């Protein structure tokens, strides 16, 4: 049987080795319950599932961390201080260091801003019921124009009053998580996130190039653009592939 190595004095090692697996599991579960209770009070049902390939999950995670940054830092502090030696494990320390690292927070800020400013409102347009994929050309063109406008003038997103206006949201809608945007500005005012404007411009330039690449089918000289409205209605295509997902989706594709 493999023995678990435990650091500390002989008395500490002996005490730790006497802990039953059931007790260890209960201790771990108690922290999960404590964290769950805190998050439920703040209307957070679950952390975004970054362990799968769901589109946008990493950006959603960035929004969640920024919106509740103080909460996550406080929880880690309580977790550390509850231990006898009051130290983090390596994994806990890595997470805590990341949440206090300006470069990491800057990256998270850019991901969060892009998700709130562009991705969420864009997908809201695409997911309108009965939307014809062939009709999305003008929307994609408007989106690319909007991204270029933000490259030229980032103040609707990065400006101090951005959370109070809709100018930084594609389509003029409201910010999905204004709390995350407000925290970004507060951190910037304390001297952090000074590189976000540069990172934001670089990120948007890359995003615009990618949008250009993936929307060539809607170009002015494309077959879709040359179709008359009645033809587009006749050759209606779903705007998303939601029907093809999951076990039932595979049957939908086959039959």
pLDDT in tens, 229-247: 777 776 777 777 766 666 5
Place of tokens 């909460």: 71
Question: What's residue 245's pLDDT?
Answer: 63
Q: Reply yes or no on whether the pLDDT at 221 is more than 70.
A: yes
Comparing 3-17, 75-89, 238-252, the range with the smallest average pLDDT is 3-17
Among residues 162, 124, 163, the alpha carbon closest in space to that of 143 is found at 124
250-255 long-range contacts, Cβ below 8 Å, gap at least 24?
Answer: none
Cβ atoms of 241 and 123 within 8 Å: the answer is no
Helix (H), strand (E) at residue 145:
helix 137-152
Give the contacts of 113 (CB within 8 A, at least 6 positions apart). Answer: 157, 158, 181, 184, 200
- Rounded to whole angstroms, the Cα distance separating 143 from 121 reads 10
Cβ atoms of 97 and 89 within 8 Å: the answer is no
Domain range summary for the chain, segments of one domain joined by +: 32-67+101-254
């Amino acid at each position: 049987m493999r023995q678990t190595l435990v650091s500390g004095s002989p008395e500490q090692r002996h005490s730790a080795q006497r802990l039953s697996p059931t007790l260890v599991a209960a201790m771990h579960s108690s922290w999960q319950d404590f964290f769950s209770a805190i998050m439920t009070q703040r209307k957070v049902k679950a952390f975004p599932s970054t362990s799968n390939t769901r589109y946008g999950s990493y950006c959603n995670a960035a929004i969640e961390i920024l919106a509740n940054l103080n909460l996550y830092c406080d929880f880690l502090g309580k977790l550390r201080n509850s231990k006898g030696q009051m130290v983090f494990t390596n994994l806990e320390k890595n997470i805590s260091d990341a949440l206090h690292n300006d470069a990491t927070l800057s990256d998270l800020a850019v991901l969060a801003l892009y998700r709130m400013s562009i991705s969420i409102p864009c997908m809201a347009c695409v997911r309108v019921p009965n939307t014809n994929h062939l009709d999305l050309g003008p929307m994609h063109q408007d989106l690319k124009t909007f991204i270029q406008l933000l490259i030229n003038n980032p103040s609707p997103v990065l400006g101090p009053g951005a959370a109070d206006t809709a100018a930084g949201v594609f389509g003029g809608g409201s910010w999905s998580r204004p709390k995350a945007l407000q925290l970004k500005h507060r951190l910037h005012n304390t001297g952090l996130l000074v590189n976000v404007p540069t990172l934001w411009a670089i990120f948007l330039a890359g995003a615009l190039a990618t949008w250009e690449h993936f929307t060539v089918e809607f170009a002015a000289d494309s077959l879709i653009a040359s179709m008359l409205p009645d033809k587009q209605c006749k050759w209606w295509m779903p705007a998303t592939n939601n029907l093809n997902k999951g076990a039932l989706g595979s049957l939908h594709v086959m039959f």
